[in-house]
Each structure stands twice: as C-alpha cells, then as structure tokens.
Amino acid sequence: MHNITVIGTGYVGLVSGTCFAEMGNRIICCDVNKDKIAMLQNGEIPIYEPGLKELVAKNVAENRLFFTSEVGEAIEDSDIIYIAVGTPMAENGEADMRYVKEVAKTIGKHLNTYKIIVNKSTVPVGTGELVRTIVANNRVNERIHFDIVSNPEFLREGSAIADCMNMDRAVIGATSDKAAKVIAKLHEPLQTKIFITDLQSAEMIKYAANAFLATKISFINAIANLCERVGADVTQVSEGMGMDSRIGGKFLQAGIGYGGSCFPKDTFALAHMADQAGYDFTLLKSVIATNEAQPYVMLKKLQDLFGDYAGRRIAVLGLAFKPNTDDMRCAPSLVIIDELVKKGAVVQAYDPIAIPNARALLPAEVTYCDSVEAAVTDCDVCLILTEWDEIAGMDLASVRKLLKYPFLIDGRNCFSLQEMYEHGFVYHSVGRPAVLTARSESHPVNY
C-alpha cells in the first residue's frame, strides 16, 4: 500500500485517485478550490462520470479515500505525489502551465522526505525537467531528494473508470530506475502492459496518441464529405477500412468533429510545440482545420434544405461533445447553435445531462427542454448533435408526428437509411446519400 496525494480533482485527478484507492492505496485528493473539496466531503461529485459517485462513496467509507484543501499537509503525509491539475489552452495554442508551476512550488516548499513526483496532467515535452527545477529551487532542505515521473493518462470521458481499471498500457517515464519500478509496481494490480521509457518520450507519447486519434477522426470526416459528392456511403467505407488490421475500425465514425477537453487542446499544443522546435507540422494543422470546419457541414445542410432559415423553429438533440458526459468544452453544438441564433433561428434544445453547463455557454435565446418529445414539438426540423442512447433510441414514429415537417439532419449517423425511409423522413446524415421519402411540393425545401 502507498500513501498517495493527488493534486487536482478534475476528471483525471478524481478518477485516478479513486481508482488507486480501489486498488488498496491510501489516497488524499486535494485541491485549492475549497468549494469543490466541500462538495466531495459531502459526497457530491462535481463532474458527471458514470459510476464515479458510487466508487468514491465506497472508498471513502472504507477509509482509503480522503479529500482536503490543505495541499501542503497532504504532500507531507505522502510518499507519491500526483500532479493532475488542468493545462488549458492559452490564446496562442500552447498549454497553459501556470497551475503545474504553482503545484511544483508548493511541493518544493513541503518536501520533507524523499518523494516521487508524478506528472499525470497532459504537459509539453520538457515539463518533467521544468518541474524538477522548480521543486529543487523551492526546497527548504537541499539534502532531501526526489524523483520525477511522467505517467500520462489515457482516460475517455464517459468510460473513465473502466479505462483506468482496464487500461491498455501504463506509460512510465522516469528520472531514475528506482522511481520507475515503484510506479510500475503501483500498476501491478491492473495487470496491464508496463512501458518504461525516458521522461521526454513519455510526455510525447500522450500528445502523439491523441493527435493520431484526432487525425483518424478528421480523415474519415473528410472522406465523408467526399462520399456525399460522389455517391458513396461513408459507413460502408469506414467498415471496409476498419477490416484492415493495419488501420482498425476505432475512431472512424464520421460526424461533426471532435470536441472535449483533450483532442482540441492537445492538437493545438502539439502544433505549437512543433513551431517552437522549428518544425512546420502541416499534417496536424490540416487535422485541426478540418475539424474546425466540420460543424459547418450541418449548417450547410440546413441552408440547402430551407435556404434562409431565419424564424425557423429548430430542435437540437444533444449538447455535450459526446454521450455520457456533461462536458461542453469545444462541443460542436456551441458553434452550430451560436450560428443558428445569429441567423435568427428559434432553438429548442435537449440534452439529458449537459443543460446546466450549456446554459452558461450558449446564447440566452435558446429554450431548453426536458425530453426529446418536448424539443421536437412543432419544429420545422430536428438536428442531432450528440448520440445519447435516449436520442439514438428515440421513437421515430412519435418524433415524426410531433415535428411540423418530417425533416431530420443527423450529425452522428444514428439511424440506418432504410429505417428513415420506412418512417417517411427527409433525412440528411454525414457522408451518406440523403433520404427524400417525404418529398412534397407542400414542404418548404430546396431539392
């Protein structure tokens, strides 16, 4: 058993700390945000992640998981310190390192015994050395030694607990063999692959992995846009591609682009890192540009359908950037709904979880509904932006009756073309032929 302090109680810190506790370690999760710590001490979870509330409660009850805002005391009481604070994107695209630097200073000031300091945050190459310098410069006693480790996370929002407890691999970059072995042993209960490397390579692996997955998404979206122009079906194309063992089928689902806290931030940070190193990473810049343009594909389909959609009542189903999370960071819905409101459309929106977060980010004119049925009632058209189970499994016959016109534009390809034909929808999706079953001169559309 290890005494571990996790600094930062966001997605990464809270999930990682809770899972380490579940593995039998004594964990102190700490944060300078006293309100957040008070919530956690009261059993409230500040983020939405399936299964997390129950797992936190279990480990708190079994005296393995603790929460405090006394960061210094938590550091002194532990032998392993995980840094899991945010590294948001700065205006120039680089990772904002202010929180990591502040934590490093605090660790230095409270370094009372040998400790292993682990970067769990996604940080640029060279951060490990930066943290080592800051900690060393802030030590009260220079005879107290420490080691730095990079142990990047590969958690997906919505399945973070499963990803942590069943991880594909644990990447460990360390400044000493001793530290690498300790962190490797920490991961032994997970029975996962352990990959030990140097500090800089571990930091790069995280960025490279996310950038590659983002590339797959942008590539299939570009293929989808081409499929629409030549009459191919991107779902069949991606399935055929995925059968190639060199490619695989994951992250080849066409849609309206990636969002969230990782891919947008990490691709920009890696591109900025490359620029700073004197390398023009044109491939990655194209990935970013393709993703930024993809939400506008939905708006183009809407314009093709109605021409000027000012005054049109539009149902928007799904606001979060993906299902099973309330995260609105870089969600395509932000771009799409903002444009709809600017062009004079009336928006009725539904999301099963993300509405509280969406209210702070979307235009005040948006009307929020508590069900799919309420959102689509009397609307001219329905847009699907997030493939929640409640949305992908909605009663199509009921939705068709509630809509003013049977028009549905699906940004996540939730339904087969055949079922939409059978239900009588005018159906536009991404990278697939349009279904024009409900075509009628009485419908105000441009075919």
**Is 306 annotated as ligand-binding?**
no
Smallest CA-to-CA distance from 385 within 350, 411, 357 is with: 411
The mean pLDDT value of the chain amounts to 95
C-beta of residue 83 within 8 angstroms of C-beta of residue 120: yes
369 belongs to the catalytic site: no
Q: How confident is the model at residue 440 (pLDDT cuts 50, 70, 90)?
A: very low
Q: How many CB atoms lie within 10 A of CB 364?
A: 6
Phi, psi of 197 (to 5 degrees): -145, -175
Contact between 100 and 112 (Cβ < 8 Å): no
| 410 bridge partner residues | 384
Per domain, the residue ranges of the chain are: 3-197, 207-293, 295-436
Task: Give the mean pLDDT of 354-372.
Answer: 97
Mean of pLDDT values over 95-106: 95
- pLDDT attached to residue 253: 97
Bridge partners of residue 435, in order along the sequence: 427
In terms of CATH architecture, what is 3-197? Answer: 3-Layer(aba) Sandwich (3.40)
Q: What is the mean pLDDT of residues 269-296?
A: 97
Share of the chain above pLDDT 70, in %: 98
Q: Is 285 marked as binding a ligand? A: no
| DSSP letter, residue 437 | T
Ligand-binding annotation for 206, yes or no, is: yes
Whole-number pLDDT of residue 443: 53
Q: Which tens digits make up the pLDDT trace of 206-240?
A: 999 999 999 999 999 999 999 999 999 999 999 99
Mean pLDDT in residue range 62-85: 96
- Asked if pLDDT for residue 435 goes beyond 70, the answer is yes
Residue 205's pLDDT is 96
- Domain 3-197 shares a fold with domain 295-436: yes
Q: Which residues fall within 8 angstroms of residue 360, CB to CB, at 6 or more apart?
A: none
Other Cβ atoms within 10 Å of 440 Cβ, number: 11
pLDDT at 441 over 80: no
* Catalytic one of 262, 369, 382, 414: 262
Residue-level pLDDT at 173: 97
* Residues comprising the chain, all counted: 447
User: For 188-197, 351-360, 434-443, which range has the lowest pLDDT when averaged over its residues?
Assistant: 434-443
Q: Is 265 annotated as a binding residue?
A: yes
Using one digit for the tens of pLDDT, what is the confidence trace for 21-54?
Answer: 999 999 999 999 999 999 999 999 998 999 999 9
pLDDT in tens, 81-94: 999 999 888 888 88
**What is the number of alpha carbons within 13 Å of residue 71 lying toward its C-beta?**
22
Strand partners, 428: 409
- Residue 298, classified by CB atoms within 10 Å of its CB into exposed (0-12), middle (13-18) or buried (19+), is buried
Is 155 assigned to a binding site? yes
CA 330/CA 125 separation, integer angstroms:
24
Q: Which fold has domain 207-293?
A: N-(1-d-carboxylethyl)-l-norvaline Dehydrogenase; domain 2 (1.10.1040)
109 annotated as belonging to a binding site for a ligand: no
Q: What percent of the chain has pLDDT over 90?
A: 91
Q: Is the Cβ–Cβ distance between 171 and 152 less than 8 Å? A: yes
Q: Which CATH number fits domain 295-436: 3.40.50.170, 3.40.50.720, 3.40.1030.10, 3.30.70.1140?
A: 3.40.50.720
Per-residue pLDDT band for 292 (boundaries 50, 70, 90) equals very high
Q: Per residue in 167-200, is it b (16+ CB within 10 Å) or e — as a string?
A: beebbbbbbeeebbebbbebbeebeeebebbebe
- Look at residue 447 in the predicted model and tell me its pLDDT: 41
Give residue 310's pLDDT: 92
User: Could you tell me the pTM of the whole model?
Assistant: 0.92
Please indicate if the annotation marks 246 as binding a ligand: no
